[in-house]
Amino acid sequence: MKATNYCIITTTIDDENIADKISTSLLKNHLVACVQSHTVQSRYHWDDTLEANKEIVLQMKTKTSLFEEVKVQIETLHSYDLPEIVMTPIVDANKEYLEWIEKEVQKSKILNCKRILFVCLGNICRSPLGEGIAQNIIDQNDLLIEVDSAGTSDRYTGEHPCGYSIKIAKQHDLDISQQKSRPITKEDIVKFDYILAMDERTEQALMNFGFSNVYKLGDFGDYKGADVPDPYFFHSFEGVDKVFEMVDTCVKDFFKIIEK
């Protein structure tokens, strides 16, 4: 029997607050018509250890064509390194119920998630701040936007942000300590809609790499194209607050523009 154009998407999470955030975001954006939840006992191997944990199962009804958008939203809000996101086609169902799903998801005003990548040289000082500030805006306003950061160099791959950036972020109630540096990839060229470079050197490196949708962060927030100073070369914590202020102002101005 041929499947319908509708599906059930399933994910699991061990945090009620995150489960609620995922459900609310998807429903508010009309990416799913219905979310059902229940608690289960999950048993599985993780890192060669047999685990047993209580989890919340979320089952979401939507159109098959919206799976990628739903998946991105779940990945953005989920706390697991490897979340379960499984799509099961609805082979058959009563016509009236499928029509109701269609009606609900047609209300979606955002059918394509915007994706933003912040980039500096090493992805340990400035771009992690950009990612952290942007993620906070997304969380506070329940936006359907995916954000990430990377470096033009792979020198610091796998390392956490520098101490200065972690400290100044913490002073503004942002935790970026768990971010890990990674280099830009060819896949990023296709995946991300906006690439925000921290300085002119990074901007040029990105264009040489093959990116076309590159913007200099200092072009926003009335900074007139200025480079974002790199705290990595600061001899003390003095002045890092100005770096944060610049990144914060520019990111907020950028969000105002893309959300219009």
Last residue of a domain, one of 60, 83, 105: 105
Query: Are 144 and 246 part of one and the same domain?
Result: yes
Residue 146 belongs to a domain with what CATH number?
3.40.50.2300
* pLDDT over 80 at 253, yes or no: yes
Whole-angstrom distance, CA of residue 117 vs CA of residue 224: 21
* In the predicted structure, residue 248 carries a pLDDT above the cut 60: yes
Tokens 């969000």 correspond to: 255
Task: Indicate if 138 and 219 belong to the same structural domain.
Answer: yes
CB neighbours (10 Å) of residue 140?
8
Is the domain of 80 the same as that of 125?
no
Q: Say yes or no: 17 and 81 in one domain.
A: yes
Identify any residues that bridge with 69 across adjacent strands, giving them in sequence order.
Answer: none
In this structure, the answer to whether residues 240 and 132 fall within a common structural domain is yes
Read off the pLDDT of residues 177-221 as tens digits, 9 standing for 90 and up: 999 999 999 989 988 989 999 999 999 999 999 999 999 999 999
CATH at 59: 3.30.70.120
The 10s digit of each residue's pLDDT in 137-155 is 999 988 878 899 999 999 9
Active site residues: 120, 126, 230
- Do 124 and 247 fall into the same domain? yes
Q: How many domains does the chain have?
A: 2
On whether residue 1 sits in a domain, the answer given is: no
Give me the domain span that covers residue 31.
Answer: 6-105
Q: Could you please report the per-residue DSSP string of 147-214?
A: EEEEES--TTTTPPPPHHHHHHHHHTT---TT----B--HHHHHH-SEEEESSHHHHHHHHHHT--SE
Q: What pLDDT, on a 0 to 100 scale, did the predictor assign at position 1?
A: 58
pLDDT band at 111 (very low <50, low <70, confident <90, very high): very low
Residues 100 and 148 in one domain: no
Q: What is the pTM of this model?
A: 0.62
Domain contains 182: yes
- Mean pLDDT, rounded, for 84-111: 87
Q: Tell which of 105, 136, 159 closes a domain.
A: 105
Query: Average of pLDDT values for 96-104?
Result: 94
Same domain, 199 and 129: yes
- The residues, any chain, with a CB within 8 Å of residue 231's CB and separated by 6 or more, are 125, 126, 162, 164, 165, 168, 239, 240, 243
